[in-house]
């Protein structure tokens, strides 16, 4: 190496160490783009980026992907979640790729890091990159809240409602005869909203018998739960525009809170056709990435409710922007959340500060299941369980929880597993 190059390298290393401003901090190479902020940012620096795959069962198709960012300040670290169903290992590898964007950087500059990860990836984020960014972004906000000694929802300007965040559970009935029990338990717990679905899989043009079966299933839910409970029905993009148009019209008398994903969300014009034929609010968005992914749906007035998922859309930063974009157009937010507890808790912080928030999903039933028991074991409190129909707001800084790496070792990563693959009777691929 030439003498001039050698001295230049030494000088760069010295500058990186100076940026840290912490005598006991490990010396870490600064991420590209850090130097211009040395005099205006904090003295906190990211020293490690860790990613964990966590499988509650060895054959799970949605092992959790947790991200931990450590800093040069003792005891200051942040957790986030980037769980992506069926693609866990890909997201974990993508988080590793982003280390060069973060090591040595100031974690307080959340927006700067979000822009860098999104824009400097060059190819615009799909679900893998979006989920990796989501996990990192949540961890950055967790650090930010802890450093400023405030819960994240207060950093965002909340709460809008001091009672907490209204939520809903999924209907997990053991047949039609179980609905009265669920109705009574909901009344006892103060639960005011549930979500169900339509049975089976649907061809592009369906038989009357199949359509009538779907209508009867939703009618049974309404009769079993009563009119005082709000009900959303998820079509899960299983229906074509023609079948969905029939169903939304037939289901209007049941006064549903919303119909979700009546067709694949990327088919915006088809969604528009369906929406024009229904007075029931239309919801979609769990598969969308970044606020940009919502823009066309919002601009065209196609939907009434956006359901972006904090673990895929790009974290707290992106969910907040999607909410602001929707709010300006008179559209409500009901975020999707069907993964692990970190993303769920992070979502509540954003909900609590959104003026156009409607209701928060959690993929749990009214009865406590095995997943919730593990979450309680990890976090020390019943995470994502409602009290009087609402998720309580924490006063703890950051995202309001602590989690140890040791606690995760009981559930080692079982590898990526494909999501369900379903087919019609003729062996053609079915939406599910």
How many helical (H) and strand (E) elements, i.e. helices and strands, does the chain have? 15, 12
Starting from the edge strand earliest in sequence, which strands make up the sheet with 77-81, in order?
A: 46-54, 64-71, 77-81
- The distance of Cα 233 from the centroid of its chain, to the nearest Å, equals 19
Instruction: For residue 48, give the 3-state DSSP assignment.
Output: strand
With contact defined as beta carbons under 8 Å apart, do 379 and 402 qualify? yes
User: Catalytic annotation on 424?
Assistant: no
Bridge partners of 169, per DSSP, are 194
Distance CA 342, CA 365 (A): 18
Which phi and psi angles does 46 have, rounded to 5°? -75, 125
Structure tokens at 42: 């904090």
Distance CA 324, CA 332 (A): 10
Tokens 């795959």 label which residue?
Answer: 53
With contact defined as beta carbons under 8 Å apart, do 393 and 159 qualify? yes
Active-site residue identified among 336, 349, 376, 424: 336
Active-site residue identified among 120, 236, 349, 424: 236
Among 93, 175, 90, CA closest to 417: 90
Tokens 């991200």 label which residue?
Answer: 67
With contact defined as beta carbons under 8 Å apart, do 305 and 299 qualify? no
- Looking at residue 35, the DSSP 8-state letter turns out to be G
Bridge partners of 32, per DSSP, are none
User: Catalytic annotation on 236?
Assistant: yes
Category of 236 on φ-ψ map: left (φ > 0), alpha (ψ -120 to 50) or beta:
left
Instruction: For residue 267, give the 3-state DSSP assignment.
Output: coil
Tokens 């209907």 label which residue?
Answer: 171
* DSSP E strands, 15-63: 46-54
Active site members: 236, 336
């Amino acid at each position: 190496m030439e003498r001039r190059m050698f001295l230049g390298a030494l000088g760069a290393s010295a500058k990186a160490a100076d940026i840290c401003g912490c005598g006991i901090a490990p010396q870490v190479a600064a991420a590209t783009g850090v130097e211009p902020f040395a005099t205006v940012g904090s003295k906190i620096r990211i020293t490690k980026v860790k990613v964990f795959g966590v499988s509650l069962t060895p054959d799970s198709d949605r092992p959790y992907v947790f991200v931990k960012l450590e800093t040069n300040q003792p005891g200051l670290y942040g957790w986030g979640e980037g769980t992506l169903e069926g693609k866990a290992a890909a997201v974990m590898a993508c988080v590793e790729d982003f280390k060069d964007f973060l090591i040595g950087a100031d974690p307080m500059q959340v927006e700067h890091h979000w822009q860098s990860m999104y824009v400097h990836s060059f190819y615009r984020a799909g679900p893998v990159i979006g989920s990796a960014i989501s996990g990192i972004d949540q961890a950055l906000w967790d650090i930010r809240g802890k450093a400023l000694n405030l819960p994240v929802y207060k950093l965002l300007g909340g709460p809008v409602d001091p009672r907490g965040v209204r939520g809903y559970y999924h209907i997990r009935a053991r047949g039609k005869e179980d609905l009265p029990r669920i109705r009574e338990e909901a009344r006892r717990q103060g639960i005011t909203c549930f979500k169900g679905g339509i049975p089976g899989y649907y061809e592009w043009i369906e038989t009357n018998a199949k359509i009538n079966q779907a209508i009867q299933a939703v009618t049974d839910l309404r009769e079993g739960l009563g009119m005082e409970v709000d009900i959303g029905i998820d079509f899960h993009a299983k229906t074509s525009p023609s079948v969905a148009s029939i169903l939304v019209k037939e289901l209007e008398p049941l006064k549903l809170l919303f119909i979700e994903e009546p067709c694949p969300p990327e088919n915006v014009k088809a969604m528009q056709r369906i929406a024009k034929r229904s007075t029931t609010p239309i919801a979609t968005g769990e598969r969308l990435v970044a606020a940009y992914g919502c823009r066309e749906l919002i601009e065209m007035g196609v939907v009434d409710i956006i359901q972006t998922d904090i673990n895929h859309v790009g974290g707290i930063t992106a969910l907040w922007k999607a909410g602001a974009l929707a709010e300006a157009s008179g559209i409500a937010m009901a975020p999707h959340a069907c993964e692990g507890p970190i993303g769920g808790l992070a979502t509540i912080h954003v909900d609590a500060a959104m003026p156009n928030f409607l209701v928060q999903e959690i993929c749990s039933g009214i009865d406590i299941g095995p997943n919730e028991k593990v979450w309680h074991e990890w976090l020390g409190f019943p995470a994502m369980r409602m009290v009087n129909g609402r998720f309580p707001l924490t006063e703890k800084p950051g995202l309001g929880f602590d989690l140890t790496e040791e606690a995760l070792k009981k559930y080692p990563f079982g590898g990526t597993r494909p999501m369900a693959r379903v087919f019609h009777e003729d062996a053609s691929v079915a939406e599910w």
